[in-house]
A and B are shown apart, each in its own frame.
Chain A
Amino acid sequence: MDSTINDEIRAILSAVLKRPVGPDEKVVRREEPRWDSLKHIEIIFAVEDALNVQYDEDEVATLDSLAALVESVELHRAP
């Protein structure tokens, strides 16, 4: 797992969900009361412009955890 990507997405989740996200913490949408559909799109918007990726519509629906977001960025950036 790329630690830079991981750190960047943790910082985004912390800013959007308005709570600290620890370095080893797993963040999953179904366990986050604030992670509703509107916040989901805010997270997607922030990840896209911070990490220079672009998700398609179907992909957006599957990105429901910190791990899924990190993995998706790594996949988009893979050569």
Chain B
Amino acid sequence: MTTSVDTTTGPSSADVSLQKAEWQQVLFAEQPRWSDLMRLTPSWPCRPLALRVYRNHAFEFIATAMQPFAAYAGLSVEIEYGDYDDSLGVSPAEPVDATIVWFDFRRYRERLDAPSLAGWLGERLVAMRSVEAGPILVTNWDAEDDDAIEFNQRLLALTKDLPGIYLCDLREIAIALGNGYTDLRASRFTGTYLSAAASTLIARRFGFRWLPGVLTPRLKAVAVDLDNTLYDGVLGEDGPTRLRLSEGHADLQRRLLRLRDDGIFLAAVSRNDPRDVELLWEARDDFPLRPEHLSAQAVSWDAKSVAMETIAQRLRIGVDAILFVDDNPGELASVASAHPHMPTLHATTPVETLRALDLFPGLWQGRASETDALRIADLQASTERKALEAATDDPWEYLRTLRARLILALNPEDQIDRLHELSTKTNQFNLALRRLSAVEVTRRVQDPEHGVVSIRLSDRLSDSGIVGTLFAHHDGDALVVDDLCISCRALGRQLEDVMISEAISLVLERLPASRVTFAFTAGPRNEPARSWLERFGEQAVSADKMQVTVDWDDKAREIAAAALPVTIEREGNEEVG
């Protein structure tokens, strides 16, 4: 595979998009070939990723085959290996981005039954959790017998109970490959039993799903072209009734609907006459994908790079959180040129596009979040909120009509995953950009000198779920707000002041202080947080001035005087406001 790239200046984003489109036929193949993978070397810069692997059999094949998949996801993996160690000994070590537990559980079959093995592994994972700060990925038992099934069920329960530990399902791959999963020739030379086919499929899961799923922000939307992507044919030439919906295209549309069920926005982007597209949706009720499933449509003769900006604005997300899918490589290159960080996918056959959507980095996440399911309905409600706001000049009346309700919880151990998600994925209203790991959130929740608050928001139009979090610690007579994150879905309802002041009041009841200090870190996209702090603290905030301290009694009185018509509750307690 060859792509001409100017190495003196580095490839342009359009070149990268085209090279990635070429790589697709290898990386998203039903069964990637080892010899093809070995020859892929990225021309684009990749983010270094340090991994530590605890193992009792060889991981090197997986590591080798993983490199091109990780590179496609923008990652360059460096691995520190422990010794082959059936006892899974752990000791303090240099911090890494993530840890992998790569174990052949068949080796314990003669010594431990499934419950005992799971109990032992649970103890080892607790010990590992105390020394490894990043996410821990644990592979399950890849056999088909009853012991493996029982062990895997117990391991799944363990990973749900321990923070920042994620299950990697090898058994699914073993079942899919059958006898082709193992290669006993390899075990004679290397001590592992995996075939080339198994190694490449497992490497693909690590590079595309498991590592990006816990280490990179999740994509929030898929924007698809229409002609020759969702169906076969060109709307403007064939007319809506002569477009061909193959079984593969119908499956692809149904796959998009499953992504929507998982909380991914769907959008259509098309260079067509808007009236023709309206007629298409009216005429083709055999399409599984319906216009009401699309959270945004951008249909015009404008460049698709402009259309993508429109879609990002309508969805209230960054363009880099949208996957753009199109059958025309020229469109991919053009959009990538305008939006260098937007991921792109070349739609080839519907079967291959479907497989790519199954695997595409950033569409899978380690744990499903309750908020994902709420996100799409919440966006639909935002249109109604804007209409309500436009109908009155009185902000108080707007809020009264909205019937907003806040529920706050202090140190909520059952919400750690969501608070970690808010800390790592919120960009616009993220005050200090601390990007706390699930482990760090857990430590703060459990530390009596720290306070962690979750803020849940609903109104009469939708339940937005947990939209905000505040992390603070006690320092003499001051409460230091280490970070403060509010989802962009919660902004625009004029509730920031009351949310934050109520969260601080809740922490102050546990950790009394007369002053509150806010830490700020300037980032590329957190101007909304900076300008809020400047207004709230009545002091200039800039890259040179990173802390603001306010006298809390005065500030609390000021906010209370505003007496906003908002219901405020504390989880497990009575209504307080």
Contacts and interface: CB of A to CB of B under 8 A. Distances in A.
B190 A38 contact: yes
A67 B39 CA distance: 21
B84 interface: no
B34 interface: yes
A5 interface: no
B38 A41 contact: no
B63 to A, nearest CB: 10
A30 to B, nearest CB: 16
A60 B34 contact: no
Interface size class of A (residues with CB under 8 A): 20 to 34
B192 to A, nearest CB: 9
A16 to B, nearest CB: 6
Interface stretch (B144-152, B181-189, B267-275): B181-189
Nearest to A60: B185
Contact of A42 (B39, B64, B188): B64
Contacts of B185: 41, 44, 55-57, 60
A55 B196 CA distance: 13
A66 interface: no
Contacts of B199: 45
Contact of B38 (A38, A46, A57): A46
A56 B186 CA distance: 11
Question: Which of B33, B34, B36, B61 counts the most chain A CB atoms within 10 A?
Answer: B34
B186 A41 contact: yes
A42 B61 contact: yes
Contact of A12 (B35, B186, B188, B189): B35
Contacts of B184: 57
A26 B38 CA distance: 21
A47 B34 CA distance: 9
Given A42-B64, A57-B185, A60-B185, A49 B35 contact: yes
Contacts of A60: 185, 188-189
A50 interface: yes
A46 B189 contact: no
Which secondary structure characterizes the binding site on chain A?
Answer: helix
B506 interface: no
Interface string A1-31: 0000000000110011000000000000000
B58 interface: yes
B303 to A, nearest CB: 39
A51 B186 CA distance: 19
Interface string B6-36: 0000000000000000000000000001111
Contacts of A49: 33-35, 196
A56 B184 CA distance: 10
A75 B39 CA distance: 26
Interface residues of B, number: 18
Contacts of A48: 196
B60 interface: yes
A41 B189 contact: yes
Contacts of A62: none
A56 B60 CA distance: 22
A42 to B, nearest CB: 6
A38 B196 contact: no
A48 B33 CA distance: 10
Given A11-B39, A45-B34, A38 B60 contact: yes
Given A49-B34, A49-B35, A40 B196 contact: no
B59 to A, nearest CB: 10
Contact of A46 (B34, B186, B188, B190): B34
A61 B186 CA distance: 11
B33 A37 contact: no
A66 to B, nearest CB: 15
B558 to A, nearest CB: 65
A46 B196 CA distance: 9
Given A45-B196, A48-B196, A49-B196, A16 B38 contact: yes
Interface of A: 11-12, 15-16, 37-38, 40-42, 44-50, 55-57, 60-61
Given A49-B33, A60-B189, 13 more contacts: A15-B35, A16-B38, A38-B60, A38-B61, A41-B190, A42-B38, A42-B64, A45-B35, A48-B196, A49-B34, A57-B184, A57-B188, A61-B189
Interface of B: 33-36, 38-39, 58, 60-61, 64, 184-186, 188-190, 196, 199
Q: Which 7 A-B pairs have the closest CB atoms?
A: A50-B35, A15-B38, A45-B196, A46-B35, A45-B34, A37-B189, A57-B185
22 contacts: A15-B35, A15-B38, A37-B189, A37-B190, A38-B60, A38-B61, A38-B190, A41-B61, A42-B34, A42-B38, A45-B61, A45-B196, A45-B199, A46-B38, A47-B35, A49-B34, A50-B36, A55-B185, A56-B185, A57-B185, A57-B188, A60-B188
